[in-house]
Amino acid sequence: MIVTSTDKKAEISEQLCIGCTICVKKCPFDAIQLAVLPNTLPKLLTHRYGLNAFALYNLPTSTKGKILGIVGRNGVGKSTALKVLAGKLKPNLGRCADPPDWPEILGTFAESSFPSLHKEVIVEKQKVVIKPQHVDLVIKTWDGKIKDLIQKLDAEKNSSSLIKLLHLDTLIERNIDQISGGEVQRLAILLTLIQDARVYMFDEPSTYLDIRARMVVANCIRELKSPDHYVVVVDHDMGFVESVSDQICCVFGEPSVYGIGSKLYSPKEAISIYLNGFLPAENINLRNFEFSAVIFMKNY
Ligand code: SF4
């Protein structure tokens, strides 16, 4: 522990820590978690929120013309990865006190598609639209009729078929605060789909939706696939992500402690890897048991 007479917060020296776990057991607030990571992992560090804070390793990167699916537990960095890809968060490569500049960051990701995505998003300022994880943000940011909001954002003025497909046609005369959770979710997805953008991101689009609506939404997202667009989908529903994606990254780790992006797998490979709980390329167990088909179907 590093603490001086003027400090209000104690810090753990990660260089000096030998992992004895005494502080973990003694802390009365269960505030300390200890993770022992491989020596090679620091080279893959993408972003860290501060000393002793959450760290994301091995950023999954999206390629134009291919839909990237990201799956993983809550708190392992899926939304952090999305923020970095969307240009909302500058990755610090773990150097919180001395953050690197863009040339160094881009050099680190030289072998991935991140530099071309960065060029379009940060340099050329191409539009990025995100379906937020928390759809109540849509309600908080708009006060008025749904119809007016759709008209305002509809770039090509061709949203009527999507409105019908997403069963929103009976709701558009209502005020936005008069619709339920599933309806807000479908509206948030529609508002993302109808905008003219270079990058489309969907953070947990299947939440609150029944299976029929999930299939419709999956088809609508598939329609966005083109050589000019980047599309990224983050979700907990493996079946949904499998049906919508061309390649999948499994983000694993310890919630609120660290997260690691796996290499990209084909959707079928990713499903079986996730159920088996073992990443063959990384030689890592995601958990110490396999999901049976029965448990998976129940969750589905
Ligand atoms: S795990 Fe042990 S060595 Fe590491 S900070 Fe805690 S008490 Fe110190």
In a domain, 177, yes or no: no
Q: Is 293 a member of any domain?
A: yes
Distance 24 CA to ligand 1 centre (A): 8
Mean pLDDT of the region 95-110? 92
Going by alpha carbons, the residue nearest to atom 3 of ligand 1 is: 17
For the ranges 146-160, 206-220, 257-271, the lowest mean pLDDT is seen at 146-160
Task: Give the mean model confidence (pLDDT) for residues 191-197.
Answer: 94
Considering only CA atoms, which of 245, 277, 283, 244 is closest in space to residue 264? 245
Q: What is the pLDDT of residues 65-95, one digit of tens each?
A: 999 999 988 899 999 999 999 999 999 999 9
CATH number at residue 118: 3.40.50.300
Q: How confident is the model at residue 101 (pLDDT cuts 50, 70, 90)?
A: very high
For residues 119 and 216, state if they share a domain. yes
Ligand 1 near 31 CB (within 6 A): no
- Asked whether residue 94 is assigned to any structural domain, the reply reads no
Tell whether ligand 1 has an atom less than 6 A from the beta carbon of residue 21.
yes
Q: Do 123 and 3 have their domain in common?
A: no
Give the whole-number percent of the chain exceeding pLDDT 90: 57
Q: Give yes or no: residues 213 and 251 share one domain.
A: yes
**In terms of domains, do 9 and 66 share one?**
no
Q: What is the mean pLDDT of residues 216-236?
A: 95
Could you list the residue range(s) of the whole structural domain that residue 11 is in?
1-34
Give the H/E segment covering residue 185. Answer: helix 181-193
Average pLDDT (234-252) is 92
DSSP sequence for 210-277 = -HHHHHHHHHHHHHT--TT-EEEEE-S-HHHHHHH-SEEEEEEEETTTEEEE---B-HHHHHHHHHHT
Domain annotation covers residue 25: yes
Clarify whether residues 284 and 221 are in a common domain: yes
Burial class (CB in 10 A: 0-12, 13-18, 19+), 116: middle
- Residue 147 belongs to some domain of the structure: no
Burial degree of 147 (CB within 10 A; 0-12, 13-18, 19+): middle
Q: pLDDT tens digit string along 3-20? A: 777 877 788 888 899 989
Residue 19 CA to ligand 1 center (angstroms) comes to 5
Q: Is 265 among the domain residues?
A: yes
Does pLDDT of 166 surpass 60? yes
Q: What is the mean pLDDT of the chain?
A: 88
Number of domains in the chain: 2
Atom 2 (ligand 1) nearest CA: 20
In a domain, 48, yes or no: no
Mean pLDDT computed over 241-260? 93
